[in-house]
Structure 1
């Protein structure tokens, strides 16, 4: 067992030692009271990682349900990084990546995943093989994601477009799934054809993503000011700004349990606020005000239909603290 305090978001990760980039893949997972989902996650890893050299690094955010002991029992060879507090998802990713950076030569890539992911056989190899592919305009693939399925087998629409005022407005007026067919009017990509081919997206759901070593080195740590939600959005957009695209590898697949944010007013509020806060990081005050108004319209319309999570989000969006640093749930 090892312990580590997560690095501040503005401090670079420790530099890896010299050597070729042929080391193992760092399988990075962040846990917080994850004892209920961890055994199945671990059981799926050998087949999911088949054909790759890999090591598991788990950052635990002060679980109180025995998650660290369970990990030691079920995966004794894994590196356990204990942050000592509920530090948030991005901080957990940074803590695990910092531990992997200390390996001889460092990891050749990272596979960042939620513990409620169940990789299908060969998933990781397909994602890793798709990294670093050249694209037009001097870009290359820095992040790859698989097809995600719900537990009942339904496809999860995991690809996203960059947040824009018109897209937030389209989702408010039309609904994100119907608007998702039109690139101008929704962040969500719902076109079935996009999930049948290798599709480049502005960002994607962060439940499972492979990240190349070059992309990791160029981007640095994940932004810890996003305690939960929007951290993957920020990372993918930052990677894109630096020339690294996010691309779907449709031959790779995984099951994602997920779903907590939809039911919990507290988590939905945090998700909604962080959308606005991220937009404010990348745009001026006038554009941010318009984006916030569009998101508020969306949540208000759903609150009027009786959705309690949206009612909580409306109260938060209307408050003066909406653009301050994200609170911990």
Structure 2
């Protein structure tokens, strides 16, 4: 089987040498091809990829088009493949990670396989997710994500460490490392570029589940996710919050999206009162109708930074 490794770069130069070295380890024994979509980096990301991986496909987007658009462009520009590894530049694959995920894709009903992921200090990252809902948003608001996540109806984040010891299906999973079968991609179509950043992997995984192809968590496959700043950047946290409403509106309609919006306003405003800058930004944007109507773009990320 041939795996297409789809990576989106944006000022990622400092990460690329270790990324490419890590690919050779994590994909050992697997035929693979690297495709990089660059969202108009101002550093030497493109030159670095071409120097370190001259056989790679490089797509220069010409603008910061967003994560989903980059993934779609990388896939569209690439040679034939049997699976697509959607990978963040700051992820490092452990030996044998992808061959293990490929085995998992053969399990009936599986369209997406995801590994056990730890942070740079070796701590488990809770990557499995349940489908977003009003009740789970309220559970997060009143109990906190980790406490609520121990109870299925109350938490979106699967926060029971015991559930990470065995293979299982999840509604969706954090999108830094996802192996998608070619069948799943063909059945579900490309990622929805209207989200720009955040909720695009949620949307794709839920569409795959709707089509009978679930997301399978595989603890025997391992990876390290070094970074991620949505929880500290006001602009990113606000965009993440707004896109939850947009996704709910797409899947559930305006009325139910309105209920989710109200739950998010409660959650973010209560945290804003505690002095949390990301929640202040999210509250202000949730209460600005034009922000919910506009198509997200680069300005969404920097507005409150």
TM-score bin (small chain): over 0.9
Q: Distance in 1 between matches of 2:190 and 2:231?
A: 28
User: Is structure 2 residue 241 aligned with structure 1 residue 268?
Assistant: no
Aligned to 1:120: 94
Select 2:36's aligned residue among 58, 75, 89. 58
Select 2:178's aligned residue among 209, 212, 222. 209
User: Is structure 2 residue 119 aligned with structure 1 residue 150?
Assistant: yes
User: Is structure 2 residue 130 aligned with structure 1 residue 161?
Assistant: yes
Aligned to 2:81: 107
Select 1:224's aligned residue among 193, 206, 216. 193
Q: Deviations over 1:171-195 (max 9, x none)?
A: 1111111000000111000112211
CA contact (8 A) 1:274 1:326 kept: no
Aligned to 1:308: 277
Between structures 1 and 2, the one with greater helix share: 2
Aligned to 1:194: 163
Structure 2 unmatched ranges of 5 or more:
none
Q: Distance in 2 between matches of 1:124 and 1:88?
A: 25
User: Is structure 2 residue 20 aligned with structure 1 residue 42?
Assistant: yes
Q: Distance in 2 between matches of 1:307 and 1:47?
A: 40
Structure 1 unmatched ranges of 5 or more:
1-21, 135-139
Runs of 4+ residues deviating >4 angstroms:
none
Select 2:202's aligned residue among 217, 226, 233. 233
Q: Distance in 2 between matches of 1:70 and 1:97?
A: 20
Q: Deviations over 1:22-61 (max 9, x none)?
A: 4x21011010110121111111111100110001111111
CA contact (8 A) 2:83 2:181 kept: yes
CA contact (8 A) 2:194 2:296 kept: no
| TM score, norm. by length of structure 1 | 0.89
Q: CA deviation at 1:79?
A: 1.0
Q: Distance in 2 between matches of 1:197 and 1:164?
A: 25
User: Is structure 2 residue 67 aligned with structure 1 residue 89?
Assistant: yes
Q: CA deviation at 1:322?
A: 4.2
Q: Distance in 2 between matches of 1:51 and 1:71?
A: 22
CA contact (8 A) 1:273 1:326 kept: no
**Superposition RMSD on alpha carbons, in Å?**
1.0
Q: Distance in 2 between matches of 1:30 and 1:284?
A: 31
| TM score, norm. by length of structure 2 | 0.96
- State the secondary structure of the residue aligned to 2:159: coil
Aligned to 1:19: none
CA contact (8 A) 1:270 1:326 kept: no
- How many corresponding residue pairs? 298
- State the secondary structure of the residue aligned to 1:262: coil
Aligned to 1:6: none
Q: What is the correspondence of 1:170-189 to structure 2 with a 5 Å cutoff?
A: 170-189=139-158
- State the secondary structure of the residue aligned to 1:189: coil
Q: Distance in 2 between matches of 1:326 and 1:303?
A: 25
Q: Distance in 2 between matches of 1:99 and 1:286?
A: 39
Select 1:277's aligned residue among 246, 258, 270. 246
